[in-house]
Structure 1
């Protein structure tokens, strides 16, 4: 795949792509669980769903894929897709400073390291960073590493929180020791998967500027609405979804969102 190809062919998902992702991940909308059924009724997909469908479009047969900071899985809540895409690749490498990288059953190689310190014998077609950018303390070093590791014409896909979303704003002022209790209340998860944040790559402007310095061009970008904060509370989550759809009708963005950027190596 070439730079020209990815500059003219979208990898951000279509409605059809998202419907296919939903069927694989959640099953039949009529019989799946209450949360997915509620989201489907409001024509809403989680940011993770949109990211997974994007990566699915970017992983072509015999692709060499580098997953940065993915830990035990590129898609923690979608084992089916992780297995399908891993089988599609010729080479799938996971790099993460955490030892949980060795629990990843999908990667062909596992390296416990910061991406800045990792070297490869051949460049990759695709690099993915799922909820990694917010933890990066040295953005220039990370981008330089990606420029070294992604071949010309290859892609880097970044999925991260938006700096100015309400939850992010609160997390920036709340002591780190309280991050996990809040995270557990709203989304669940394990304390070992909660890491310090820096928020140095969490606006579209910063991402575009940093990647441009590394020889990448922004080929696609989306603010992805995040209506998951109250997903454990059905009535309140319905209010979230209704509010989101009302804002979209008047061309306003839902305040809580994630960033999804696709950057092509020149």
Structure 2
């Protein structure tokens, strides 16, 4: 055990752990052990999605961990193929059957799909019903820019609890973060260590890896921490919710060992300054 994640209070009063484990690109045979290891390490937030094809293994990992269900905050996401009111409700049932859970903590729309925004709105209405019925504790979105977010709120009247977006030191998403904050939406960071710059198909080169940036490696040396730990600390001090992915036991533990040091204001500002304003993953306007 390396500490305890602070929590963030969502706009409906639900408490969400600030630091979680992501399982994007975790193969099914590795996912169960990774989730169990994370929960035994102290993580209490697990983030998956229908599109990741490992919801079943996430559920198995939660069971294997021995951690009580009410101590674990579980997120999954609706995929584009299932957008629409009735199809979203059916997809939710499918996800819950795979997870083996009676209720979900957070249900997210995976993309805004501006070219078919009517379906996005209908899907969000389905999520509202799940919330009203007590089947989910909170609902939200992923990859919504400021215009997407405001359009969704204008059309539905329900402010998302969370907006999960690509966010790392090379793409700090300041406008989206400010819009989220003004609306009372928590910003959650996918690819918080910037790995999307390295692995995304057609993406850029490993040289665009924030873990190798001298500003971050210098700070890491100063604190006797790893670059990953420094970046996760940066997220947390900005009030963000990072969900780093790993299936390696030592990395899972390392990514959680970030509660025994604190960056200075100048160090946080220095990391902010390496922003390139270039995303590594897909553009939500083109998805």
TM-score surpassing 0.5?
no
TM-score of the superposed pair, with normalisation by structure 1: 0.38
Q: Structure 1 or 2: larger strand share?
A: 1
Q: TM-score when scaled to structure 2?
A: 0.36
